[in-house]
Amino acid sequence: MIFNSPAFLCFFILFFPIYWLINKKTSITYRNTLLITASYLFYGLWDWRFLILIITTSSIDFTVGVLLSKTEKSAHRKILVGISIISNLSSLIFFKYFNFFIDSFHACLSYFSININTTMLSIILPVGISFYTLQALSYTIDLYKRETSPAKNILSFFAFTSFFPQLLAGPIEKSSHLLNQFESNKIFNYTFCVTGLRLILWGLFKKIVIADNFGVLADHIFNSESSVPGISIIIGSIFFAFQIYGDFSGYSDIAIGLSRMLGFDLIKNFQTPYFANSFTDFWRRWHISLSIWFRDYVYIPLGGNKKSTFRVYFNIFLTFLLSGLWHGANITFLIWGSLHGISLIIEKIFKQENKRNLHTLVFLILVILFWIPFRAKNYSHLTIMVNSIIDLKSYTFYHLNSTIQSFSIIRFTSLIIITISFLYIEKSINIDDFNEWIQCKRTWVRFSIYYILILTILAIGNFTVKPTFIYFQF
């Protein structure tokens, strides 16, 4: 089920009153049992086989957590956390990267004129595996470092690892923030619920109006079978920048909003990242929960900024290289991660030399261009697009014109006007969120904005595309 699908709407309308009735009448145990049941139903509707993996992962990590809480011997604790790390990463590597590594190994041997037969498996990537694997790992690692408390019971832990609002694409929560919320009573809070509804509305607007419309435009350019002029690719990267931001931040807003309606508080995952003034600032605002995870469990363990200058630069680059690999089993994601890592290193060098950072506009242009390798189908597709950008003779507007005409000039003009208004609101929100921005308005202004968003979704929203979210593929 997808958040913006009729099936999910029916699911949540049925679940919501039952959930609060059980919360009011029964114990936490029954509440968590209901949450687990609903989450497994939600997840199992994708493919029931996925349930085997998430139940196995949760069982191993809960057992490791219990054993960690009962032993003080350093060697035993290292073995236990090692079991958790190996079991989680091995399943992630197998399902997500097995064919990628086999293909890369074959390509390396072919380079040296060594030809061998390699077997590629037809592996179905379990939806959300990259997200719940990192969340489960954070629990056992934090327990090992004695930075969190063990789960009080298996039900609260299973609810923590399978919570359906954030199961498929985050935010990636640390147990110190979310786990204890499953171990406490919930009292219905009308105001908190309203803030959740606001975020859901804002998220649906970003997804259905911004992301899904710009997605059609971006797909027309990047999925073209014919040669695409350089100017179209550059404009296409702008379209994709709006698509991926509206899609992923929209999902996060809906996930946080749904959680609030159930009495849970999730970490903020986006803070208007395109209004950042540097790459460092961008990664404090974009996919915040993933940035925190890589900072705490990759960058700092590597030595962070406590090592020599060269080692700090290496740590930054490796962290972003791995971040790129996390996004997908494709060389293009490694290139995307490397570009951001190199840009952060350059910023750090300029800062150390007391020189000005890149101008905000230059930074924004680079971020948008860096989306090209992220959007590329493969390395060959990327090289074709880069060659088109470099070839100034290819800068014609015929393909861009056909893209806009196939979309509809009137619809495109309306989308641009709406996007300008959207950017104005984003600029006003800055590092706050939609709730903090709108709750300061007068009542008539707030309700006017609600109705405008609803009407815009109904009038301009793209309901013709298949309901899905980009980050489900990761």
pLDDT of residue 300: 94
The pLDDT score that the predictor gives to residue 399 is 80
pLDDT of residue 304: 86
- Whether the pLDDT of residue 80 is over 60: the answer is yes
State yes or no: cis peptide before 171, omega within 30 of 0: yes
For 402-423, how does the pLDDT look when each residue is reduced to its tens digit (9 = 90+)? 888 888 899 999 999 999 999 9
Q: Which residue has the tokens 């406490």?
A: 184
pLDDT at position 114: 64
Q: What is the Cα Rg of the chain in Å?
A: 23
Active-site choice (327, 340, 359, 381): 327
CB 165 within 8 A of CB 259: yes
Over residues 436-452, the pLDDT tens digits come to 889 888 999 999 999 99
Give 122-163 pLDDT, tens digit per residue.
667 778 888 999 999 999 999 999 988 899 899 999 999 999
- The structure's pTM equals 0.91
pLDDT band (50, 70, 90) for residue 236: very high
Answer whether 281's CB lies under 8 Å from 227's CB: no
Mean pLDDT within 81-107: 77
Residue 163 gets the label, from left (phi > 0), alpha (psi -120 to 50) or beta, of: beta
Give percent of the chain with pLDDT exceeding 90. 62
| Distance from C-alpha of 472 to C-alpha of 474, rounded to nearest angstrom | 5
Residue 104 clears pLDDT 60, i.e. is over it: no
327 as an active site residue: the answer is yes
The reported pLDDT for the residue numbered 116 is 63
**Residue 184 pLDDT > 80, yes or no?**
yes
pLDDT tens per residue across span 324-378? 999 888 899 999 999 999 999 998 888 755 445 556 788 899 999 999 999 999 9
The first and second tokens of residue 309, run together, are 């200058």
Average pLDDT value for residue range 203-213: 95
Residues 6 or more apart in contact with residue 20 via CB below 8 angstroms? 188
